[in-house]
Amino acid sequence: MSIRGVRIKIQALSHRYTPKSPVTFDKVNLDAKQGEIIAIIGRSGCGKSTLLHILAGLLRPTDGTVYLDDTLVTAPSPQWVMMFQAPHLFPWMKVSQNVGIGLHFAGWHEAKMSDRVADALSLVDLQDYADNNVQDLSGGQQQRVALARSLVMEPELLLLDEPFSALDAFTRASLQHDVRSIAKRLGFNVVIVTHDIDEAVLMADRALIMAGSPGKIYDELEVNLPDPRERQDPAVQAMRARLMTAFQNAANEDPNASSKDVGDESKPHSVTQHA
What digits encode the pLDDT tens for the residues 175-187? 999 999 999 999 9
Question: Among candidates 252, 257, 170, 241, which has minimal Cα distance to 201?
Answer: 241
Peptide bond into 214 cis (omega under 30): yes
Averaged confidence pLDDT in the chain: 89
The number of angstroms, rounded, from the C-alpha of 145 to the middle of its chain's C-alpha atoms is 15
Fold of 35-61+73-236+252-266: Rossmann fold (3.40.50)
Q: How confident is the model at residue 8 (pLDDT cuts 50, 70, 90)?
A: very high
Question: Among candidates 242, 232, 168, which has minimal Cα distance to 200?
Answer: 242
Helix (H) or strand (E) holding 9: strand 8-15
Cα-Cα-Cα-Cα dihedral of 166, 168, 172, 174, to 10°?
-150
Average pLDDT over residues 117-132: 96
pLDDT of res. 259:
46
The answer to whether residue 264 scores a pLDDT higher than 50 is no
Q: How many residues does the chain have?
A: 275
In whole angstroms, how far apart are CA 154 and each of 23, 44, 112, 117?
A: 34, 31, 14, 11
Q: How confident is the model at residue 255 (pLDDT cuts 50, 70, 90)?
A: low
pLDDT of res. 254:
64
Model pTM score? 0.89
pLDDT of res. 116:
94
**Roughly how many angstroms between the first and final C-alpha of the chain, as a whole number?**
27
| Domain ranges, ordered by start, for the chain | 35-61+73-236+252-266
44 or 216: which leads in pLDDT: 216
According to DSSP, the β-strands at 8-15 and 206-211 are unpaired
Average pLDDT over residues 133-149: 95
